[in-house]
């Protein structure tokens, strides 16, 4: 078993934002392997973020973001539990990143449940028409896959985050919930574009 030094713990904490004891425990559990320790913390973080999801998020900020010399504008409301967190630089930066992401990707809604049923029906019809002549069970699977892809491209929480495409907006938000210690919810947004 390798020796876990204070420097290793400090480096891991700087990279993840996790607590010192959590970092030390993750390094011990991964026998000093930093990448494995980060994976352990992320898995644990997602679990702890899920625990926070039940808590009320009734404070927060509305951020305005203007892009491309005034051609695209976004308003986004990100809620958290306290004004203390809402006033931090990390939180303000997070809201701005989300607004910038919306400007870049043009999602139609926050969650998949918010997509109007008629849009999904139309997407299913188009997908079915593209794959005629195959057995019904195959068609069903292909259509389901195309609808999932539609959600990933058009639903904010399921889109890959523009600043780190390895994470969806949902995963990125869970990491920030763990880091800041409060539940956060993207409540709503509006995107404006000249001529659209």
Q: Give the CA count within 13 Å in the CB-facing half-sphere of 84.
A: 6
Residue showing tokens 């892809």: 149
Mean pLDDT of the chain: 87
Q: pLDDT-derived band of residue 167, with 50, 70 and 90 as boundaries? A: very high
Percent of the chain with pLDDT over 70: 89
Q: Spell 39-74 as b/e; 16+ CB within 10 A means b.
A: ebbbebbeeebeebeeeebeebbebebebeeeebbb
The pLDDT score that the predictor gives to residue 48 is 54
- Residue 192, pLDDT above cutoff 50: yes
pTM: 0.69
Beta bridge partners of 61: 78
Q: How many CB atoms lie within 10 A of CB 4?
A: 19
pLDDT for 134-155, tens place per residue?
887 888 888 999 999 999 999 9
The pLDDT score that the predictor gives to residue 157 is 97
| Domain architecture of the chain: domains with CATH | 6-52 (1.10.8.10), 59-110+155-193 (3.30.479.20), 116-154 (no CATH)
Q: How many CB atoms lie within 10 A of CB 104?
A: 15
pLDDT for 55-112, tens place per residue?
666 688 999 999 878 899 999 999 998 888 999 999 999 999 999 999 999 999 999 9
Q: How many CB atoms lie within 10 A of CB 180?
A: 19
The pLDDT score that the predictor gives to residue 47 is 46
N- to C-terminal Cα distance for the chain? 60
């Amino acid at each position: 078993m390798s020796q876990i030094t204070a420097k290793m713990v400090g480096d891991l904490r700087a990279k993840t934002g996790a607590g010192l004891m959590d970092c030390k425990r993750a390094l011990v559990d991964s026998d000093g392997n930093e990448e494995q320790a980060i994976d352990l913390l992320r898995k644990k973080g997602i679990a702890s973020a899920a625990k926070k999801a039940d808590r009320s998020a009734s404070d927060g900020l509305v951020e305005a973001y203007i892009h491309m010399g005034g051609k695209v504008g976004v308003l986004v409301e990100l809620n958290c539990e306290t004004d203390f967190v809402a006033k931090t630089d990390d939180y303000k930066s997070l809201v701005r990143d989300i607004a910038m992401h919306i400007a870049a990707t043009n999602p139609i809604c926050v969650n998949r449940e918010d997509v109007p049923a008629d849009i999904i029906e139309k997407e299913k019809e188009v997908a079915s028409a593209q794959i005629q002549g195959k057995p019904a069970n195959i068609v069903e699977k292909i259509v389901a896959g195309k609808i999932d892809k539609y959600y990933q491209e058009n639903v904010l929480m399921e889109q890959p985050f523009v600043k780190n495409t390895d994470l969806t907006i949902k995963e990125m938000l869970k990491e920030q919930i763990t880091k800041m210690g409060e539940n956060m919810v993207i409540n709503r947004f509006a995107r404006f574009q000249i001529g659209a």
